[in-house]
């Protein structure tokens, strides 16, 4: 009887230790966007819109609400700052949830080239609030192109047929002219180095 008790006790302790050893190697929840919060969209058509502007054109003006509450107009920066518009397709989707945090390491790059970054999606403010809170602190303004839906994206020609926007970058000089356009494959993250080289050309 005593022997059985001892053996069974050993078994219980063993199973507990095995459990501890297995669970300790599993990923723990971490700061940032939790992977199970991300909606998996699968592979999408790389580009699904037709540009309405080209390099050298005056950038169409717009005014959009921001997360901070005050609206931002493109004309506010005319003659003062170069502007980079970063359209991303939608909140809570895979590539976007890395692309914008990626700009967290590039703040000095923008400052060095006297440029500002404006992040734009077609999502509404409450959605952007939750998403960016989960993403962590972003140093640049986030603008909502929600109502009228995707109006700015449509004006620039980067509104996709499903109502999301392209993953697109527009570099606009202080003179208000479009210097660079990258309507990127929606499934891939644009390379920061390429954007850095375009910012250098503005100096």
Partner 1 sequence: MRRFLEIAWLLPILACGCAYVGGSNDANRRVALAELAILPFETPGAKQHADYLQVSATEPTFALADLDAKLLFIQVFDSCCPHCQRAISSINQLYSQIETRGLQERAKVIGVGVGNTAFVLDLFRDRYAVPFPLFPDASMAKRDALGVRGVPRMIVLRQSDRGLELVKICRSIGNSASFLDDILEHVGM
**Catalytic (active-site) positions:** 96
Answer yes or no whether residue 105 interacts with partner 1 by CB under 8 A.
Answer: yes
**Least Å from the CB of residue 191 to partner 1:** 7
Answer yes or no whether residue 11 interacts with partner 1 by CB under 8 A.
Answer: yes
- CB nearer partner 1, residue 28 or residue 54: 28
Site stretch for partner 1 (CB under 8 A), options 28-36, 80-88, 148-156, 166-174:
28-36
Answer yes or no whether residue 20 interacts with partner 1 by CB under 8 A.
Answer: yes
Answer yes or no whether residue 101 interacts with partner 1 by CB under 8 A.
Answer: yes
**Least Å from the CB of residue 68 to partner 1:** 20
Applying the rule CB under 8 A, the residues between 35 and 94 that interact with partner 1 are none
By rule CB under 8 A, what string of x and - marks binding of each residue 106-135 to partner 1?
Answer: xxxx-------------------------x
Q: Which of 27, 42, 79, 148 binds partner 1 (CB under 8 A)?
A: 27
ω before 148 within 30° of 0 (cis)?
Answer: yes
CA quadruple 55, 118, 153, 50: dihedral sign = positive
Do 71 and 125 touch, CB atoms closer than 8 A? no
**Least Å from the CB of residue 101 to partner 1:** 4
Integer Cα distance of 138 and 149 in angstroms: 24
Classify burial at 173, counting beta carbons within 10 Å of its beta carbon; exposed 0-12, middle 13-18, buried 19 or more. middle
Region of residue 56 (left: phi > 0; alpha: psi -120 to 50; beta: else): left
Integer Cα distance of 88 and 129 in angstroms: 15
In the DSSP assignment, the letter for residue 108 is H
Q: Which helix (H) or strand (E) holds 171?
A: strand 167-172
User: Alpha-carbon dihedral of residues 176, 71, 131, 170, nearest 10 degrees?
Assistant: -10
Q: How many residues bind partner 1 (CB under 8 A)?
A: 38
Q: Which of 30, 40, 56, 148 binds partner 1 (CB under 8 A)?
A: 30
Q: Which residues bind partner 1 (CB under 8 A)?
A: 4, 7-8, 10-11, 13-15, 17-18, 20-21, 24-25, 27-28, 30-33, 97-99, 101-102, 104-109, 135-136, 189, 191-193, 196
């Amino acid at each position: 009887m005593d022997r059985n008790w001892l053996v069974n006790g050993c078994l219980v302790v063993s199973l507990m230790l095995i459990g501890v050893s297995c669970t300790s190697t599993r990923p723990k929840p971490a700061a940032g966007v939790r992977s199970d919060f991300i909606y998996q969209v699968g592979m999408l058509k790389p580009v699904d819109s037709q540009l309405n502007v080209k390099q050298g054109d005056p950038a169409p003006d717009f005014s959009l609400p921001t997360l901070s509450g005050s609206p931002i107009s493109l004309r506010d920066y005319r003659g003062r700052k170069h502007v980079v518009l970063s359209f991303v397709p939608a909140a809570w989707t895979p590539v976007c949830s890395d692309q914008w945090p990626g700009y967290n390491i590039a703040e000095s790059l923008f400052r060095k080239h006297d440029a500002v970054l404006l992040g734009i999606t077609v999502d509404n403010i409450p959605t952007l609030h939750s998403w960016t809170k989960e993403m962590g602190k972003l140093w640049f303004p986030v603008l909502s192109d929600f109502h009228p839906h995707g109006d700015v994206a449509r004006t620039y020609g980067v509104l996709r047929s499903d109502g999301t926007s392209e993953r697109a970058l527009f570099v606009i000089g202080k003179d208000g002219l479009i210097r660079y356009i990258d309507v990127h494959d929606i499934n891939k993250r644009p390379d920061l180095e390429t954007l850095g080289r375009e910012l250098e050309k503005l100096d």
